[in-house]
Structure 1
Amino acid sequence: MPELTSTKELKRVLGRKELLSIAIGQTIGAGVFALTGVAIGMTGRSANIAMIIAALFTLAMTVPMIFVSGTIRLRGGFYTQLALLVHEGAAGFFIIIHIIAWCTLSMYAISFADYTLALIPGLNHTLVAFAMLTIFYLINLMGIEAAAKLQNLMAVIMAVALTIFIVYGMPNIQPNFFGEGFMTHGWRGLFSAAALMTWATGGANVVIHLGAEAKNPTKDIPFAIITGTLVIAAFYALMATVAAGVLPVEQVANKPLTLVAQEILPWPLYIFFVVGGAMFALTTTLNSCLGWIPKPILQACVDGWLPRGLGKLNKNKVPYIILTLLYIESLIPIFFKVNISTLGNMAVILNNLFFALVCYSAMNMPKVIPDLWEKSKYHVSYGSLVFFSLLGTASTVAQIGLLLGNLTKAEFIGNIAVAVFATLYSVIMLRSGKVHMEVSYEEA
């Protein structure tokens, strides 16, 4: 049998700065550059309001996550939380959803290719997306510390580029912003766009999956989530206002932001925006995803949900087999040219299935880990804990309901099939006797 490794062996090298950089980089790339045009297509110029509502949705489901991540080190992220606070079977359900949903990594490489072709027409779109995914796969094989240092640099450049877009764009917004083109599909369109954009505004919570590599997880992870979410919400609202307000809605709906950037920015700043803003935003998301997505899968290998040999680490303490399989999975949508909107809707719905469980599970801390909960800096009364847990659960369920109405028949069937498969897999593996759950949480 191949040597079995564990999340215990991962290097604890990520401080507050690195975690915040990862949180911001993950969030900005997904929201503004991949899905803002889609949100404008769903609700018109009210996309900025949709961003704010999305942030409220996100905060509602983030509070119970902060309660838990501020109490214990979760070496397997949400996987560990579900196993501890719900049931071992919930962890198995999560890991299947996690693996299938994250073929959406390709969404960031595909969007990167869109912006590259806007800058350099004539390139092969598929080849550009493939190259970008490959580069960051290789970087992450070198270890989380190397990837985090690159992330810090890209995040600073990205923030400057996005600020330039906002500063130049605000004076060019059309005076009848709240007239024609505002809330083009009514309240349902507004809230459907908000539900979709939670995929963006909720990105900061992924740092929970880096608990095994954080120096001080119970302090730094909640800080990164709260600060990252608030900073991004402000950026999103401002950028959506510019994106929808400078040109007619029909010109920018379902389109990349380069159309507006060309209209408002001088050529040198336009180039900087495309490279340092659009491209870096997408690459920071891609980079952070390749860093954290394998960690719950690694813990699942340790516990027996997946073949144990997949969890081997290289000399840089990277689960290289898992990372390689994730890379191969992400190539499939690139070469088969899957629509970005389809990927976004699939990912949001599937992830909200386990987000609902994650939020609900927080109320079980007083029963499962009473001593650690009593000592937590985030300790609140049981009534408050139940309220926020149920609020977060209701928020995620509501988002699923809103998004289901936008799915094609094939997408709807696909989501149901994945959920059923994840449930059956969990039940079968538990009954097989192959699953032996390691304790993957610690006092920190």
Structure 2
Amino acid sequence: MTEHEGGDVGLLDAVAIEVGLVVGGALFSLTGVATGIAGTGVFVSFALAFGIVVLGLVPTAMLGAAFPTTGGNYRYPREFVSPFLAFLAAWGLGVSMFGGGLPLYALTFGQYVESLVAVDPVVVGFLVLTAFFLVNLGGIHVAARVQVLLFVALVAALGVFVVFGAPAVDTANLTPLFSTGPVGVVAGAAILYFVCLGANFVVDIGGDVREATVTLPQSLAISVPVVLTLYVATAVVAVGSVGVAALSDQPLTVAAAAFLSPGLRGFFVVGGALFAITTSINAVFIIVPKYLDALAADGLVPGVLAATNDRFGTAHWGLLVVYLLSVAALVTPIPVAGLGTLLGFGGIFLIVPVMLAAIRAVRRRPEAFASVPSYVGRRTTTTLAASAVVCNALLFVVLATQSPTVCAVWVGLVAVGAGYYLARTRLGTGERDPEPVVEGSA
């Protein structure tokens, strides 16, 4: 393992990246979708999704603090569980993110702009993807600075929505609490799970974080309560102000129009919705090269995808491929709900190998965890990780029953990835002897 104590990413940067990954798709792209599924219980779905996320977040934070590295969500399972399973999780995440996440964020961005001026949402989505592709060609330092600026405006805009919307809440719109039943609430949580999971991805830039052993746990301790509070409060205000029927499958501007003046509504759309979505897009572009670097080091993707340019040190070819794939998905006629569901499968699947890695790592390398100031202990880490595996399996099943076609597509594409892995390794072009996350851990 190579620790980067002098990395470019500090505590505020890490918090901004985490909040940017979390606040975006769920709150502004999928609240309406989840409301259509969970009804009045959508805010419970948010809390449930976050509760399951926290089960996995603690073991993930412990891994990131004990073994700071880049691409940790791939490298930890590869090192402590199975290279094949680690690759499948990374591949499945790529399918979900490039086919669902980035086009979802871009399309929703365009829809929010359309609420202010007459534009084509797809064209606007293409422009925002292009803009943040170019920003990230400038390197993680530039991208992290942009992230902090967007983060400050985002929190302010959400505060305006909650403060001015609270008096407009009609409790009759929030009853009965579980209007679609418990299954609907759980299905809503499955839809919202990936974007609640976003903070976990900070371990993928662990090698770029200053004093990661301390900074990673601290950043998560700040970002998770902030986001949970924003999510639940915003969901209550949105549903409570206009009702389930008006909000189902609609953007949050439907609720904002009910109680915000035109000026404040404009600030909410720009500083809240648009900035939230762009922080998510920016954070994805920040993280993707870390996976490409890890996969290329293991010989599982062509090295050119991880090759960096001399001026900025960024993986320009890899970023270009991600950009082109997301643009291709953007122009397809897949509805927002389908994009969000596709995104969910990859996030749910990804966390399972990471939790298995945490369970094995605390047994094999206890001394590495003992040096982490915030270490919660072997028993607690193991219990939380095992609980997260069970809960993720349940969410996957519920989401699959709600969207069998999308699940079949995702499983089919993951099967293609499995075939690619076996062909590449059997041909001798993959599975090089990788650099271990930590000496002696294999």
TM class, shorter-chain normalised? over 0.9
C-alpha distance in 1 between matches for 2:282 and 2:136: 7
Q: Is residue 2:331 matched to residue 1:309?
A: no
Offset at residue 98 of structure 1 (A)? 2.8
Q: Is residue 2:343 matched to residue 1:347?
A: yes
Q: Deviations over 1:287-318 (max 9, x none)?
A: 11111122111211122001112211012111
Q: CA distance change for structure 1 residues 165 and 9 in 2, over 3 Å: closer, same or farther?
A: closer
Q: Deviations over 1:257-286 (max 9, x none)?
A: 111111111111111111111100101111
The alignment partner of 1:294 has SS state of helix
> Which residue in 2 is equivalent to 1:403?
399
Counterpart residue identity of residue 212, structure 2: P
Counterpart residue identity of residue 398, structure 2: L
Counterpart residue identity of residue 345, structure 2: I
The alignment partner of 2:223 has SS state of helix
Q: Is residue 2:284 matched to residue 1:296?
A: no
> Which residue in 1 is equivalent to 2:106?
109
Aligned match for 2:172, one of 170, 176, 180: 176
Q: Relative to structure 2, which stretch is displaced further, 77-86 or 372-381?
A: 372-381
Contact 1:10–1:317 at 8 Å: present in 2 too? Answer: no
Q: Is residue 2:152 matched to residue 1:156?
A: yes
Aligned match for 1:45, one of 37, 40, 65: 40
Counterpart residue identity of residue 435, structure 2: V
Counterpart residue identity of residue 422, structure 2: V
> Which residue in 1 is equivalent to 2:90?
95
TM-score if structure 1 supplies the norm length?
Answer: 0.93
> Which residue in 2 is equivalent to 1:436?
432
C-alpha distance in 1 between matches for 2:234 and 2:432: 48
C-alpha distance in 1 between matches for 2:362 and 2:275: 42
C-alpha distance in 2 between matches for 1:178 and 1:351: 29
Contact 1:93–1:425 at 8 Å: present in 2 too? Answer: no
Aligned match for 2:233, one of 231, 238, 245: 238
Offset at residue 377 of structure 1 (A)? 3.0
Unaligned runs of 5+ in 1: 1-6
C-alpha distance in 2 between matches for 1:177 and 1:84: 50
Contact 2:111–2:121 at 8 Å: present in 1 too? Answer: yes
Offset at residue 324 of structure 1 (A)? 0.5
> Which residue in 1 is equivalent to 2:412?
417
C-alpha distance in 1 between matches for 2:286 and 2:243: 39
Mapping of residues 35-434 of structure 1, within 5 Å: 35-103=30-98, 104-121=101-118, 123-179=119-175, 182-314=177-309, 315-409=311-405, 411-434=406-429
The alignment partner of 2:68 has SS state of strand
Counterpart residue identity of residue 248, structure 2: A
Q: Deviations over 1:69-92 (max 9, x none)?
A: 121112222111111111222232
Counterpart residue identity of residue 118, structure 1: S
Contact 1:27–1:203 at 8 Å: present in 2 too? Answer: yes
Contact 1:26–1:203 at 8 Å: present in 2 too? Answer: yes
Q: Relative to structure 2, which stretch is displaced further, 418-427 or 388-397?
A: 418-427
Contact 1:71–1:378 at 8 Å: present in 2 too? Answer: no
- Identity, % of aligned pairs? 24
Q: Relative to structure 2, which stretch is displaced further, 375-384 or 26-35?
A: 375-384
Q: Deviations over 1:409-441 (max 9, x none)?
A: 3x1321221232233333333333322142253
Q: Output the aligned Cα RMSD.
A: 2.1
Offset at residue 132 of structure 1 (A)? 0.7
Q: Relative to structure 2, which stretch is displaced further, 190-199 or 414-423?
A: 414-423
C-alpha distance in 2 between matches for 1:394 and 1:126: 38
Q: CA distance change for structure 1 residues 319 and 241 in 2, over 3 Å: closer, same or farther?
A: same
Counterpart residue identity of residue 346, structure 1: L
Contact 1:70–1:377 at 8 Å: present in 2 too? Answer: no
How many residues were matched structurally? 435
C-alpha distance in 1 between matches for 2:287 and 2:403: 28
Counterpart residue identity of residue 227, structure 1: I
Contact 1:64–1:362 at 8 Å: present in 2 too? Answer: yes
Offset at residue 379 of structure 1 (A)? 4.1
Q: CA distance change for structure 1 residues 425 and 156 in 2, over 3 Å: closer, same or farther?
A: same
Counterpart residue identity of residue 105, structure 1: L
The alignment partner of 2:40 has SS state of coil
Contact 1:34–1:256 at 8 Å: present in 2 too? Answer: yes
The alignment partner of 1:371 has SS state of helix
